[in-house]
Amino acid sequence: MSEHPEEFKESGLVRFLRATEVDTRLLGMIGALLLIWLGFHFYGHFVNGFGAFLTPRNLWNLSVQTSSIAVMATGMVLIIVTRHIDLSVGSLLGFTAMIMGVMQVWVLPKYLGLGHPMIWVITILVGVAFGTLIGAFQGFLIAYLSIPAFIVTLGGLLIWRGASYLVARGETIAPVDPTFALIGGGPYGTIGATGSWIVGIIVCIAIVLMLWNGRRQRVRFGFPTRPMWAECLIGLVGTGFVIGSVLVMNAYPWPKGIVKKYAAANNIEVPESGLFISHGFAIPILIAIAVGIAMTFLATRTRFGRYVFAIGGNPEAAELAGINTKKMTLLIFALMGALTGISAVIASARLKSATLALGQFDELYVIAAAVIGGTSFAGGIGTIYGAILGALVMQSLQSGMVLIGFDAAIQQMVVGGVLVLAVFIDTLYRKNSA
Amino acid sequence: MSDSNSANAPSADPNAGKTPLVEMRDISIAFGGVHAVDKASCELYPGEVVGLLGHNGAGKSTLIKILSGAYSRDSGSIFVDGQEAIINNPRHAKDYGIETIYQTLALADNVDAAANLYLGRELLTRWGTLDDAAMEAETRKVMNRLNPNFTRFKDPVKQLSGGQRQSVAIARAIHFNARILIMDEPTAALGPAETEQVGQLIHQLKQDGIGIFLISHDIHDVFDLADRVTVMKNGAIVGSAQTKDVTKDEVLGMIILGKCPAGAIPGPGALAD
């Protein structure tokens, strides 16, 4: 074909990429992530005498720590794609967490009695509803009153932080409802070895079904299909990754103290060699994955998602095509608020309390995650999986530096530098690929 | 230049007695004190091509954006098939079969041809999700008819050439059974061969009974294609004439001076004698 004059001199790698239709960006990000992981591990190994990064324990912790940022980053993608920004997510997270804290510690026990099984459900509903409403309100100001998103959410950053102070007079609200706390992870907030295998196998089956269905669709309409070996390879890599994650998560046992308590409570005899109880997947990471899947579906398979990207590509064209761009803007910010509410559940459940500082600077990590994941500030470009990987990169950097004992000042500087570097690389990449 | 027709009164109206496909009556719109369009009226009959002419800033695009729902008029009314039409946004206009090809093409640059073709009117599966495969298949069919050389269905339209982008914009306008087609400077970005193609397309659409508004600031673009020209100046209609009743020079006089020749029916914007 005349469009591909370079075809005859294509290297094996290019042919491979075309056959598998793998995004080169995705490969680049995975490469960067592996580099970061290996770098921290071997730095620890050689300098501190112990490589702590690539251990089941650290990877499990990493998965839990990433969840809250990852959930918000999926929403931030849509915001940035439509050429807006949301600086208020950190404060909003703190505020909704505080509302939920007050709800479950001060308000609900009074009416339902302490430890009532509905407390955590009502609390979460209230929290997510609050987040959604506030997000929608900010979206309303941006869409219908034409105040720039930067200003509205900058105001929000101050207002919601101040509001969370007022709600609890600056107190730390603790302890949260025990069922609520499970959502934050911790030994009890996991699904165990068997549960992890079940989840893993379901995901593997889903991957195979999706590949099969995609191929069938292409055949049905007579579009070109990937070669069979490429389909199989993608399937193998995908399922291999899932099974690998299950193995790693299951390799991290409960601490001895908790095992002893659990055994005593359930009349299990602990053998001489100790009892190996796996953590398995933590509940927060399962929530993050579920949100990631739902958001990917929303972004790529629905009208809503199509409109988000069309607005980002050319707002005027979207308007002329009959898309209600104002309503879309309001909905996108409402969705961001809802996701922030979910993140607030995860974050405060993990701390088992609502503190005044909760979520501080989260907006920066969330925006950084989206941008590192390939979301373009020029609008119209971004992926959900990219943002989740971006969140993982940010969190890996941060916890890696903690593990090898860098101090907080250096951590901040590194994270800032990486953000700028990532955007620079992104710019180079777009120049070359355009 | 003298033409036997030019000194005559307007020839008999071939559309006399027919109901116009669309009629705009006394349309006005102002932007901050500037009367962009001032009591403008014009009409379009089935199978007719009307060239809407005027300088840059004469109000042509604004008038047409009112018809396509992009702007809300301050006063005046629009009739489609003789019935008063309510057009307050682009979606309303599309419901009346009014489709527009904008000068800027108004494409979402970051998505592919199929997504643009169906923007705002996506095909859905029975689960309510986007049916990308079906949309791509339909797009391949449409584009094969319109521009057989078009093969880049997977690329974002940003990466396409001017002519290819134009094909996508045209395909989008005619694919949904348009009855009234508005083309704003349709050939501005095109080479000679592609301009010729657009001309052929207009003839073909005319045969199908579609009414077309052709907007241009260059009379050479439209004179051969249009059955009638309507000229605007400073937001008002100078006059309207069947192309066979007037010469290019006379139309040029209407555009530049606002002088209405004998072969034309003068409008409120015509220069007083």
Minimum mean pLDDT range among A65-69, A196-200, B195-199:
B195-199
At residue A378, the pLDDT reads: 86
Max avg pLDDT among A73-82, B167-176, B201-210, B235-244:
A73-82
Interface of A with B in 271-300 (CB under 8 A): 297, 300
Residue A420 has pLDDT above 50, yes or no: yes
At residue B145, the pLDDT reads: 81
- B102 falls within a domain: no
- Give the mean pLDDT of A258-264: 86
The verdict on A224 touching B (C-beta cutoff 8 Å) is no
Helices in A9-148 by DSSP H: which ranges? 12-20, 24-43, 56-81, 89-102, 108-112, 119-144
pLDDT band at A241 (very low <50, low <70, confident <90, very high): very high
At residue B273, the pLDDT reads: 58
- Give the mean pLDDT of A255-260: 86
At residue B49, the pLDDT reads: 93
**Which of A302, A309, A320 has the CB atom closest to B106's CB atom?**
A320
A128-177: pLDDT as tens digits: 999 999 999 999 999 999 999 999 999 999 999 999 999 988 889 988 99
Mutate to test the interface with B, among A83, A297, A303, A320 (most CBs of B within 10 A): A320
At residue A119, the pLDDT reads: 93
B92-119: pLDDT as tens digits: 999 999 999 887 888 999 999 999 999 9
At residue A9, the pLDDT reads: 55
With residue A199 as reference, give the H or E element that holds it. helix A192-220
Contact criterion met (CB < 8 Å) for A321 and B70? no
pLDDT band at A67 (very low <50, low <70, confident <90, very high): very high
At residue B8, the pLDDT reads: 64
Question: Right CATH number for A21-189+282-433 from 3.40.605.10, 3.40.50.300, 1.10.3470.10, 3.40.1790.10?
Answer: 1.10.3470.10
pLDDT band at B260 (very low <50, low <70, confident <90, very high): confident
Give residue B186's domain range: 1-97+177-273
- B22/B123 same-domain check: no
Write out chain B residues lying below 8 Å of A328, CB-based: none
At residue A434, the pLDDT reads: 55
Residue A4 has pLDDT above 70, yes or no: no
Residue B3 has pLDDT above 50, yes or no: no
Check residues A420 and A89 and name the one with the higher pLDDT. Answer: A89
Contact criterion met (CB < 8 Å) for B119 and A318? yes
Cα–Cα distance for residue pair A68/A366, rounded to 1 Å: 9
Cα–Cα distance for residue pair B65/B71, rounded to 1 Å: 6
At residue A199, the pLDDT reads: 95
At residue A7, the pLDDT reads: 46
At residue B113, the pLDDT reads: 93
Whats the size of chain B, residue-wise? 273
Of the residues B129, B157, B173, the one at which a domain ends: B173
B129-172: pLDDT as tens digits: 999 888 999 999 988 888 788 888 888 999 888 888 888 998 99
Of the residues B173, B199, B230, the one at which a domain ends: B173
Report whether A272 contacts A244 (CB < 8 A): no
- B61/B32 same-domain check: yes
- B69/B182 same-domain check: yes
At residue A135, the pLDDT reads: 98
Of the residues B173, B193, B216, the one at which a domain ends: B173
- B269 falls within a domain: yes
Mean of pLDDT over chain B? 86
Name the residue ranges covered by the structural domains of chain A. Answer: 21-189+282-433, 190-281
- B153/B190 same-domain check: no
The verdict on A1 touching B (C-beta cutoff 8 Å) is yes
**Which of B106, B111, B122 has the CB atom closest to A316's CB atom?**
B106
Q: Is the dihedral of CA A85, A91, A95, A100 positive or negative?
A: positive
A81-128: pLDDT as tens digits: 999 999 999 999 999 999 999 999 999 999 998 888 999 999 999 999
- B82/B136 same-domain check: no
- B161 falls within a domain: yes
At residue B1, the pLDDT reads: 43
**Which of A297, A317, A434 has the CB atom closest to B108's CB atom?**
A317
At residue B148, the pLDDT reads: 81
| Nearest to A331, CA basis, from A310, A307, A313, A312 | A307
Contact criterion met (CB < 8 Å) for A1 and B151? yes
Contact criterion met (CB < 8 Å) for B129 and A310? no
B176-211: pLDDT as tens digits: 888 999 998 877 767 787 788 888 888 888 888 899
**Which of B115, B120, B129 has the CB atom closest to A322's CB atom?**
B120
Distance from the first to the final alpha carbon of chain B: 22
- Give the mean pLDDT of A423-429: 82
- B103 falls within a domain: no
Please tell me the total count of domains within chain B: 2
Cis amide bond preceding B266, omega within 30: no
At residue A91, the pLDDT reads: 97
Contact criterion met (CB < 8 Å) for B133 and A434? no
At residue A344, the pLDDT reads: 97
Mean of pLDDT over chain A? 90
pLDDT band at A3 (very low <50, low <70, confident <90, very high): very low
- Provide the 3-class DSSP secondary structure of residue A321: coil
